[in-house]
Amino acid sequence: MIRDSRLAALRIQMASEGIEALLVSTPVNVAYLTGFSGTLGYVFVTAKSAYLLTDFRYLGVAREQAGGYEIVNVGPSVWKRVAELAADEGISALTVEGEHVTMAVYNKLLEEAPELAVTAETSPVNRLRKVKSMEEQDAIGAAVTLADEAFLHILGFLKPGVREREAALELEYFMRRRGASGVSFEIIVASGKRSALPHGVAGEKRLETGDAVVLDLGCILGHYCSDLSRTVFIGDVSVKQREIYQTVLDAQLTALQSIRAGMTGREADELARGVLAARGLAGHFGHGLGHGVGREIHEMPRLSPVSDEELVPGMVVTVEPGVYLDGEFGVRIEDVVVVEETGCRILTGSTKELLCL
């Protein structure tokens, strides 16, 4: 079973990092390991044992969903129960997920389990999640396909007078109606001068003739996310808008043609950034080229000027160069791809033809 293989992989990772026992508290990591869908859950893993801790509300659900894990009622204090399990297992050192555990929670654990040596570290589960199995790639692909369908649908909705927020609501309704459990982030519909805002979430502005419209959308389908950006134009497109669009497209295509396993996130970023720099536009591309996508919309690895992490087969990342001219307009084009040995496999199917609606 998938969760059995993930638990086995986690134990190998823990052994390689010298982790005696791990407490997983990040909800997405708990679900990734166990399949548990409740809103309160902790996973406690040692070399020999694996527990899912929850409260009385979810005990039945946990037994149904988390096969292979011993289900434990946390009782009045999860931290005391963790300390008891550690004592039963002869555990003296516990690692918690530093990305998720607050100082208040960390101090509470130290108070209620003084006999444990507790350290907060980067979660080994996050490292496992960076490389997607074929089942995960297929799930992301299905979510990407739904985002593609939503983009095609919205083209018939966009016209002068339509508010940005109306377009965003239409996109969300379309994806939910077709099975999405939600959007993977707040949908961006940014038009005119607002399209120069990289994260210009939809507002009250109405679309106008001559507007560039940046659309950034995604959904959650089967627990996995999608992410899609396209830029379209309303009624007319200027020479400058056309030139910038082509430049961003050239930057993206250059990256897509060369991204492969073995290069670093920095090298991938430079593929696109170099094209923009050659045309005097590098200063208008202020974010990284991309990020990992999976159960969360932003995961590791990063494709950015500061990422020296090596890409490996099975990583799923976005490739999304953009140019943002403050006070004028912006353009972003984004696909989701799977990193492979000799290149990358593009999951996104939406057209990149310049569209003037």
Number of domains in the chain: 2
119 and 238 inside one domain: no
186 and 322 inside one domain: yes
Taking only the tens place, the pLDDT of each residue in 122-162 is 999 999 999 999 999 999 999 999 999 999 999 999 999 99
Examine the fold and report which residue of 129, 154, 186 is the final residue of a domain before the chain moves on. 129
Residues 241/332, Cβ–Cβ less than 8 Å: no
142 and 123 inside one domain: no
In a domain, 357, yes or no: no
Residue 263's CATH number: 3.90.230.10
* Total-model pTM: 0.94
Counting residues of the chain whose pLDDT is more than 70, the rounded percentage is 100
Checking if the pLDDT of 221 tops 90, the result is yes
- The pair of structure tokens assigned to 268 is 């991938």
- DSSP helix/strand/coil, 170: helix
- CB-neighbour burial class of residue 240 (10 A; exposed 0-12, middle 13-18, buried 19+): exposed
Checking if the pLDDT of 1 tops 70, the result is no
Examine the fold and report which residue of 129, 144, 177 is the final residue of a domain before the chain moves on. 129
How many residues would you count in the chain? 357
Residue 106's CATH number: 3.40.350.10
63 and 24 inside one domain: yes
Checking if the pLDDT of 63 tops 80, the result is yes
Taking only the tens place, the pLDDT of each residue in 233-264 is 999 999 999 999 999 999 999 999 999 999 99
123 and 138 inside one domain: no
248 and 289 inside one domain: yes
The count of other CB atoms within 10 Å of the CB of residue 305 is 12
- DSSP helix/strand/coil, 332: strand
Residue 304 Rama label (left phi>0; alpha psi -120 to 50; beta): beta
Mean per-residue pLDDT of the chain: 96
- The pair of structure tokens assigned to 258 is 């060369």
39 and 156 inside one domain: no
143 and 103 inside one domain: no
Full residue range of the structural domain in which residue 211 is found? 134-346
Taking only the tens place, the pLDDT of each residue in 167-201 is 999 999 999 999 999 999 999 999 999 999 999 99
pLDDT (mean) for 265-283 = 97
Write the DSSP symbol of residue 119. E
160 and 83 inside one domain: no
Which residues lie across from 264 on neighbouring strands?
A: 310
